[in-house]
């Protein structure tokens, strides 16, 4: 059975004590109300990692992750954060190749591959993001774009390392726009991704891969999106900054 995951991406939000308050609220509500086996991951700014990892101890449902890492192990890269630094905070996950990193910081598929390798080498679990722009979708290029991102970003991995990933599909045209891919559109893409994994690796590995939806998912549309056969949860942006909204999304995924 595939692991079901709801991951928060706080992006560049929440001052130090604001973050602690938000995370504490989330933990308390989850502890009181969430009974399923879905895994919850909170990907926060670096300033929060250690404190949130400490707060999460004793709560088996909740893990902490970073939002980015540098591809080098260490060195003269002022302002950057290494995988070893992230791991030393107690965090277990890291987002790699988010659409905002690709757009604003010119991250390429080759760089995504390097960062993924570095994360895995340092025992972090990458949440690797792929997705097409509005222009690419309108040109019906989404499948070519996604296949390229898979091939150049993560399909170089052996089966063992590949099994440690989570993939997040981001329809870039639906992030922060208020527009959401329809359940049918999202399912179509998730199914395509799973088929490509089956061709590259095996049907067994494809069937076990957790693939998240990451495009303006909220408490109103989460249940419908999560009911699709190939959608295994969500990478949640803005809605994760409000504890009640985030937990409502978690509860929308009914896991026995």
Quote the CA–CA distance of 105 and 57 in Å, as a whole number.
34
Euclidean distance between the first and final Cα of the chain, in Å? 12
- In the annotation, is 156 catalytic? no
Q: Tokens 């992750």 map to which residue?
A: 65
Quick check: 211 and 165 in contact, CB under 8 A?
Answer: no
Exactly one of 39, 70, 170, 190 is catalytic; name it. 170
Give the dihedral sign, CA 175/143/104/21: positive
Please give the biggest Cα pair distance in the chain: 49
b/e map 105-115, b = 16+ CB within 10 Å? eebebebbbbb
- In the annotation, is 37 catalytic? no
Exactly one of 98, 107, 132, 190 is catalytic; name it. 98
Quick check: 145 and 106 in contact, CB under 8 A?
Answer: no
Active-site positions read 98, 170
């Amino acid at each position: 059975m595939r692991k079901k995951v709801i991951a928060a991406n706080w992006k560049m939000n929440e001052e130090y004590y604001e973050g602690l308050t938000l995370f504490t609220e989330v933990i308390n509500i989850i502890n009181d109300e969430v009974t399923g086996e879905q895994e919850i991951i909170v990907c926060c700014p670096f300033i929060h990692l250690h404190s949130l990892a400490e707060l999460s101890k004793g709560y088996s449902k909740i893990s902490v992750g970073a939002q980015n890492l540098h591809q080098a192990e260490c060195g003269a890269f002022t302002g950057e954060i290494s995988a070893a630094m992230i791991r030393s905070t107690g965090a277990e996950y890291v987002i790699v190749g988010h659409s905002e990193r690709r757009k604003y910081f010119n991250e390429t598929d080759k760089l995504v591959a390097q960062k993924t390798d570095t994360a895995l080498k340092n025992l972090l679990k990458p949440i690797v993001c792929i997705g097409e722009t509005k222009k690419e979708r309108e040109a019906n290029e989404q499948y070519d774009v996604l296949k390229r991102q898979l091939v150049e970003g993560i399909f170089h991995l052996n089966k063992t390392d590949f099994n440690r990933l989570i993939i997040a599909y981001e329809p870039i045209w639906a992030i922060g726009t208020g527009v959401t891919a329809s359940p049918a559109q999202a399912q179509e893409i998730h199914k395509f991704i799973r088929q490509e994994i089956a061709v590259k690796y095996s049907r067994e590995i494809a069937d076990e891969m957790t693939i998240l939806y990451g495009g303006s998912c909220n408490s109103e549309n989460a249940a419908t999106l999560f009911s699709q056969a190939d959608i295994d949860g969500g990478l949640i942006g803005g809605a994760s900054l409000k504890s009640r909204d985030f937990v409502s999304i978690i509860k929308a995924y009914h896991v026995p």
